[in-house]
Amino acid sequence: MRKNITFANIVDRAAKAHGDRICTYRDEPVRYRLLGPENDGTSVTFKETLEATCRIADGLKRKLGVKCGDRIAVLLTNVPEFPLIAQAAARLGAITVPYNYMLKAREITKLINDCGARVLLTEPQLFNMNIKEKSNVPEVEHWLMVGPEEQVPEDFMSLDELADGMNSYIEPYPLDPDDIVAIFYTSGTTGFPKGAMLTSGNMLATTRLSVRLLRIGKKDFGVTALPMAHIFGFNTTIVGGLYSGSSGILLRFFDPEKVLHSIEKYRATTFMGVPAMYNMLLLAHPEKYNLSSIRYWISGADAMPVEHIKIFEALGGKFIEGYGLVETSPIVSVNPPFMRKPGSIGIPVPGVKVRIMSEDGKLLRRGKVGEIVVRGPNVMKGYWNEEEGTREAFKYGWFHTGDMGYRDKLGFIYFVDREKDVVKTGGYSVFSCEIEEEILENPKVFKVAVVGVSHPTKGQVPYAVIQLKEGEKATEEELLDWIKKHIAAYKAPRKVKIIDEMPLTMTLKVLKRELRKKLEAEEGIKEAQTPT
C-alpha cells in the first residue's frame, strides 16, 4: 500500500483524477446547499464529494468541537450522506461508528454507551421509527439529520446548517496506517455485539488489491443495495469506488426489481450482493431484463449454491464469490476470474495468509476440516473495550474466524459451516450448510436453517426451520418424510418447524441463535449446552 494514500485523503486523490465525473447517483433526489446551486440533487461528482466532505468536516470541528479520536455514530439507510460523513470524520482523525438501521433505541443506547459517541447522524424516518425521543439515547450531545434543511426538525442540526460558512477545502489529518478510522459492531449472532476496530491500513489493504485483480476502473458502473452499515457495503462502496474511480447508484433499500431495472438502465458492469439477495433476484425473473452489460456478479457474506451461480453466469458476466468478515475489513479470499472453482470461496488475496487450524492450535494439512484462521494487513486492530475478547480472537497468533473449512491441493478454500453452527450429535459432526443446501432442493422450500438443539444423550439433535415459497403449502410431517428419503439418517434433521418469516441480520443472514433459543424453549430445555 502506498504510504501517502490514507482513508482520510483517498477522496482528494479521486477528485484530482476524476473531477467533474459522476461519483454517485442518488436513489431519491435531495438538494443540498453544501453541494452548490448547480447540483440538482440527483447525483454528486468526485469534485463535489471532496468539497462537501471538507465543509462537513470543518463544521464538525468548528461548530461541534469534534477532534481526533472522537467517535461519530451513524444511523442511516443507504444514502450518499453516509460516505460524506465517514470521509469527513476521517479528515479530522475521528472515528465513524455505523449502526444497523433496524436497531431500536434500547439497543442503540447500549452501543453508544460502549463506544462513547457524542455525535449521531440519522434521518427522520429512522428517528421516528426506532428512537422516537432524544431522551431515549441520552449520551448523544449533538444530533445531526440528513435531508433538506426545511424538512429537518428544529431541535436537530441539518447538514446544510453544519456546513454553512465552512471551507470547501481543509487539509486531511495525517493518518497513520495503524490509526483507527471505524468501529463496526458484529451482528451479535452469538451474543452481545463486539466493536471491531478497523484502521486506515485495514481499509485500504485488500481493497486496492481486489480493484486491481478485477480490473475495476473509471469505465465501470456499479449497482449496490448492500447496507453501508456493514463492512462489505461500506468498503466496496466508499473505499472501492473512490480508489477505482468507478461510478454507481446507491439504492436506499434492496428491491430486486429496482436492482434489475437499474442494471439495464445504466448499463451497469457490476452488482454486489449477498446470496439472499441473489435468491430474490432469481424470483424477480431476471431473464426479462437486458443484463448483458454485467462484467461481474460479486457475492460474499455467505455460501452461494453452485446452481444459482450457473444461472447468473448464463445471464451475462462472471460470478465472483469471495469470503470475508467484519474483522478482516472484509476481504480474505476471492475466486479470481482467470482461475475459479465454483463452490469454493477462492484463494487468499495477495498479502493475506490463511491456514486451517485444529481446536488445539495445530495447523492441519490440505483436505482436513478445521477453523479458518487469518493473518494480514486487513485484520482488525482488536475489539473496542474487549481485551479478553481480543486475546481470545488472536489465540495462537492468528485471527480466529469462527468458520469451519478446508483447503484443497491448489490452495482453494472451502467454507463448511460456522463453528458454532456445527451440530454435534451422537459422535458425528453435522455441517448445517450442507444439510440446508440439500433441503433447498425441495421445490416448496424458500429458506431453511438447520440448528442444533440440546439433547440429554446425543448432545444435540438437528432441527430444520423452514420458510415455504409464497403460495406453497406443506405440512411439517410431509417435509420430514421428504428429508428422510433424501438425506442420510445420521445427519438428517429430527424435526421440522415451518415459520412464516426467518429472523435476519442486516446482511440477510438467518439469526440462528434466535431460532435455537425459541426451539429449546418449546422443547422445555432451560439452558442449551453445546457439547465439546
Question: What is the DSSP annotation of 351-382?
Answer: T-EEEEE-TTSPBPPTT--EEEEEESTTS-SE
Separation of alpha carbons 448 and 451, rounded Å: 10
User: For the sheet containing 95-98, what is the strand order?
Assistant: 157-158, 142-145, 119-122, 71-74, 95-98, 180-185, 195-199, 382-383
Q: Domains of the chain by range and CATH?
A: 10-198 (3.40.50.12780), 254-419 (3.40.50.12780), 422-522 (3.30.300.30)
Tens of pLDDT, residues 291-313:
999 999 998 876 677 788 889 99
Which is it for strands 423-425 and 195-199: parallel, antiparallel or unpaired? unpaired
pLDDT at residue 184 greater than cutoff 50: yes
Q: What pLDDT does residue 530 have?
A: 37
pTM across the whole model: 0.84
Do the Cβ atoms of 408 and 418 come closer than 8 Å?
no
**Distance spanning both ends of the chain, measured CA to CA:** 42
pLDDT at residue 452 greater than cutoff 90: no
Tens of pLDDT, residues 261-280:
999 999 999 999 988 899 89
Cell digits of residue 454:
440440546
Tens of pLDDT, residues 336-359:
777 878 778 899 998 999 999 999
Tens of pLDDT, residues 38-89:
999 999 999 999 999 999 999 999 999 999 999 999 999 999 999 999 999 9
Do the Cβ atoms of 471 and 503 come closer than 8 Å?
no
What percent of the chain lies above the pLDDT cut of 90?
A: 64
pLDDT at residue 171 greater than cutoff 50: yes
Tens of pLDDT, residues 454-492:
777 667 788 999 999 999 999 999 999 999 998 878 788
Q: Whose grid coordinates read 465543509?
A: 55
